[in-house]
Amino acid sequence: MQNVTLYLDYLCPFAWRGLELVYAAAPYLGLEITLRHFSLEQHNHPQNRGLAQNPAWRIAQQPRSGPRGLLAFLASHAARQQGSAAHLRFALSLLRLHHQEGRPLDEESCVEAAQRAGLELERFLADLEEEEARRKELTYDLEAAAELGVFGTPTFVLPSGDAAYFRFTHLTVEPELAVNLWELFTAFLHNGAHVETLKRPQRQQGA
């Protein structure tokens, strides 16, 4: 098995599409997925301009009822206490609830995601209440993301050690297509062309 680390934010639809794609491709390519967290709210906060390595405003220090994405991160770390497979199922369930079904990232949705993912619910709730530990784990993830230079989600760290931000326009869950797309995207990093950025121009309205 080859490990792929994915930095995600539950608020981000592109992170959801990226996880769905690599999840569909993983069994056919021998990939093991490790999930880590990156906060777009923290990264884009006006107090943190130019302070990615040492942010002034830190989401892990905010009240649970404050930032939109904080509870989802804490719940995600609670799910991770039951193992990487359970964590992955929880992440997919919560992302689908939010982006497919339009549910808010509140406690009810987190509990439902845990149930859909087959987690031990009492253990999940107890681990979620261990809030100081969950906040420390979130801080560790965010510091690791800053060291890596993550600026958006999804950012993948590939088995080669290369890291890349892939922004997927369409949802891909069909395994054959997911495998083809994953191999295409990763070949882009390894083919010797040394292309660091590829970005389509924004079309103006009426064009």
> Cα(45)–Cα(25) distance, rounded to whole angstroms?
34
In eight-state DSSP terms, residue 203 is: P
What total number of domains does the chain contain? 1
Q: How many helices (H) and strands (E) does the chain have?
A: 8, 4
In a domain, 56, yes or no: yes
Residue 154 to residue 7: CA distance in whole angstroms: 6
> By percentage, how much of the chain surpasses pLDDT 70?
92
Helix (H, G, I), strand (E, B) or coil at 151: coil
Q: With 70 as the cut, is the pLDDT of residue 2 above it?
A: yes
* Predicted pLDDT at 167: 86
Residue 207 in domain? no
Q: Would 198 be classed as within a structural domain?
A: no
| pLDDT tens, position by position, 152-191 | 999 999 988 888 898 888 999 999 999 999 998 888 777 6
CATH assignment at residue 148: 3.40.30.10
Containing domain of residue 151, as a range?
Answer: 2-190
What average pLDDT does range 73-82 have in this prediction?
A: 98
Q: How far is Cα of residue 138 from the mean position of the Cα atoms in its chain? A: 12
> Identity (one letter) of the amino acid at 34?
T
Please, which residues bridge with residue 150 across strands? Answer: none
Write phi, then psi, for 7 (nearest 5 degrees).
-90, 125
pLDDT the model gives residue 207 = 43
Distance CA 187, CA 158 (A): 11
Residue 195 inside a domain? The answer is: no
Residue 99 has pLDDT above 70, yes or no: yes
Q: Is residue 163 part of a domain?
A: yes
Residue 199 is assigned to a structural domain of this protein: no
Q: Is residue 183 part of a domain?
A: yes
User: Within a 10 A sphere around the Cβ of 137, how many other Cβ atoms?
Assistant: 20
| Residue 121: pLDDT over 90 | yes
Residue 54 belongs to some domain of the structure: yes
Q: Is 185 helix (H, G, I), strand (E, B) or coil?
A: helix
- What order of strands is seen across the sheet that includes strand 31-37? 31-37, 2-8, 155-157, 163-165
Q: What does the buried/exposed string (b/e) look like for 68-106 if buried means 16 or more CB atoms within 10 Å of the residue's CB?
A: ebbbbbbbbbbbbbbeeebbbbbbbbbbbbbbeeebebe
